[in-house]
Structure 1
Amino acid sequence: MKKLIYPVLGLALMFSVQSCMDNYKAKYLNEKTLTDDAGISFIKNGLEGGMTEIAASKIALKNSQNPQVISLAQMMITDHSKANNVLDSIKDDKMLTEKDTISGEHKELLDSLQTKTGAAFDKAYVAMMIDGHKEAIDLFKDASDNKNQTIQDFARQALPTIEKHLEMAKDLNASLK
């Protein structure tokens, strides 16, 4: 019986150490995906922001009569669709399986846009584009220092376009007043 206790204790010790290592790996290496938590957050927030701006821009095509707003909306749809396609491929490459959704806060903004028309719509839409692009610039600047080279490269490449969108929205906003 005494000879059996040592191997059993050894196995128990081995399993407890292994379970601690699994927690360590899950916390620091995220075995289910090929990126860190910052990368996951960037991809998720980038996709959500892009989807929200595409949805808002589609509303703009229906609710605005201003040619400048319509032109901005068409550019947003084109550019954000391309960016979301790249982010989707990065998401797949990094083995992320979360479903892309628009948050409740963004849905409320979209719902409020649906009810507006004319100049009130134009001002609300352009203000939304300004706020969204300011947030996106912060998000992409943070991601440009990500540990994952693919995420870093995409963030750095996309940042000038986002900054251009912000400036265009600000210029349009000034002309609406």
Structure 2
Amino acid sequence: MICPTSVPLARIAAAACMCGLLTVASVASAQTPAAAAAETGRLHAADQTFVASGTEAVATQRDAARIATARSSDRDVKAFAERVSTDDAKITDALRAASPRGVDVPKDDPDMAVLASINNLRGAEFDKTYIEQVALAHEQKVLSAFQAEIASGRDDQLKDAAKKALPTIQQHYEMAQDLARRKHLSVASQ
């Protein structure tokens, strides 16, 4: 037999448990907007643009550099391309590590039109096209993507990754300008 005074105590205990569970649930869901967005894979538009365009630009530079190491006969072009390929692989890995959980960062998604523009060329024609269209013009796109993230991005980890990578990208562009000068090509803004 149930004692009449134990029923109210059982109800009070059950109600206290429910209140505790509701409190835990509400605390768990009270995340900052940035944390909530990161967990669901939603990023601010500037960060989304950076993840897409920045990683594509870096992947394009990396893959074009790999083509250059195979197709160029110029040791300066090959040395430049090897440096870019190595550095850009590291930048891609850093971007993947910095991106919030649930955000897909494409690792191998280069601009195929850029790669196609150099893919069938050889010798001096390859070197000229690679330096002008990829090393100079496309490297400016990489610079722009990283600078835009630093200026407008909202995700702290992505901004930090962009800040860390920017000196390397700037160095690539300066190296490309120097390479173009040594090969008597125009270094004017592409």
After TM superposition, the score normalised by the length of structure 2 is 0.70
- Unaligned runs of at least 5 residues, structure 1: 1-24
CA RMSD of aligned residues (A): 2.0
Other-structure match for 2:164: 157
CA drift at 1:98: 6.2
CA drift at 1:150: 0.8
Q: State the identity as a percent.
A: 26
The answer to whether the aligner puts 1:49 opposite 2:57 as a matched pair is: yes
The C-alpha deviation readout for 1:86-130, integer Å capped at 9, x for no partner, is 111223x34113655636xx3122122111111110111111111
Look up the equivalent residue of 2:96 and give its one-letter code. Answer: D
Other-structure match for 1:132: 138
The C-alpha deviation readout for 1:70-96, integer Å capped at 9, x for no partner, is 0011001110000000111223x3411
CA drift at 1:52: 0.9
Residue in structure 2 matching 1:141, options 134, 138, 147: 147
Quick one: distance in 2 between partners of 1:59 and 1:35? 33
Q: Do the aligned partners of residues 64 and 46 (structure 1) sit closer, same or farther apart at CA in structure 2, a change above 3 Å counting? A: same
How many residue pairs match? The answer is: 147
Moved over 4 A (4+): 98-101
Look up the equivalent residue of 1:109 and give its one-letter code. Answer: V
- Report if aligned partners of 1:126, 1:173 keep a CA contact under 8 Å in 2: yes
The structure in which a higher percent of residues are helix is 1
Which of the pair has more CA radius of gyration? 2
